[in-house]
Structures are given as structure tokens and as C-alpha cells.
Amino acid sequence: MTKKTKLMTKVEERFQRPLESLLPEMVNELGLSAAADKLGISKATLGYWLLKFGIDVRRVALAPGESKVLRNNRSV
């Protein structure tokens, strides 16, 4: 288990959710920059937290009309 900083705990209390589930959801819905803004942290801090929790962020480019396919709970 990852030891959490005071700022991590503060963000968890504000959103009433653990970062392990909050971060992937926010990044998927909002993107990195908007998620960092909504959390009240810098993009660098968000990137560090994602790394610290082992959350893998991948980008997918889709042509018009294409959709993403989920395999093993990962976007492909």
C-alpha cells in the first residue's frame, strides 16, 4: 500500500473517495489538465500520483467513426 501525503488525504476527504478509484475516473472523463485543475493540484503532481499508484495512462487516436475496444479492462 502506498503511503499517502497530507495533500492526498485532503483531496480524498474533499471528494469522499480513495484516490485509487478517483484518479482513473477523472483522467478518463476530463483529461490530465482538467482533472488536475478540478483536484486543485498541478499536472506534475497528478502525474506523480498516477505513477505512485501504478495507474497507467495511455492515449488512443481514433479516426472518425471508430470506437475504442475494451480488453481486460484496458483501452486498446
Q: Is the pLDDT of residue 73 over 70?
A: no
- More confident call, 71 vs 22: 22
Is 36 within a domain?
A: yes
Q: Tell me the pairing of strands 74-75 and 70-71.
A: antiparallel
Mean of pLDDT values over 7-22: 98
Burial per residue of 15-25, b for 16 or more beta-carbon CB atoms within 10 angstroms, e otherwise: eeeebeebbbe
Q: How many domains does the chain fold into?
A: 1
Please report, as a single letter, which amino acid is at residue 4: K
Tell me the residue range of the domain where 30 lies. Answer: 6-75
Q: Can you give the three-state secondary structure of 42-65, one letter per residue?
A: CHHHHHHHHHHCCCCCCCCCCCCC
Is 1 within a domain?
A: no
Coil/strand/helix, residue 75: strand
pTM: 0.79
Is 43 within a domain?
A: yes
